[in-house]
Amino acid sequence: QEGPLGRKHDVEGSGKKSSNRSWNNLYCVLKPGQLSAYKDAKSFGHGATYHGEEPLALAGAHWEVLTNYKKKKHVFKLRLGDGSEYLFQCKDEEELQRWSQAMHTA
């Protein structure tokens, strides 16, 4: 599964609020056990991740759809094994379903 998603880094691994809290539109690519982010599909083609960041390791990660999140729609939260948390926004319900299913099996 791959495609554009909004992403916000909400909580650092240390448990404190992340300092850069803005939403970024990123091209996200899910492979078994890892979620990588690229600036766009072209960067993905070149294998250059967003800001050179490492893929997020999904071992021990927990994922949930934020049905009560008021600020934005179609948002899911990913909490990694190290305690850091990211919010992801899909463009519509169909995309949310698609990502949900993919995250479930990743």
Give residues in contact with ligand I3P (CB under 6 A): 8, 21-23, 71
- Residue of this chain nearest to ligand I3P (CB atom): 22
Least distance from C-beta 23 to ligand I3P, angstroms? Answer: 5
Nearer Cβ to ligand I3P, position 22 or 68?
Answer: 22
Which CB sits closer to ligand I3P, 6 or 55?
A: 6
Which of 23, 39 has the CB closer to ligand I3P? Answer: 23
CB of 20 to ligand I3P, least distance (A): 6
Which whole-number Å values give the CA distances from 90 to 2, 14, 25, 44, in the listed order?
12, 27, 10, 19
Beta strands in the chain (DSSP E): 2-11, 24-31, 34-38, 56-57, 62-65, 75-79, 85-89
Contact 1, 30 (CB under 8 A): yes
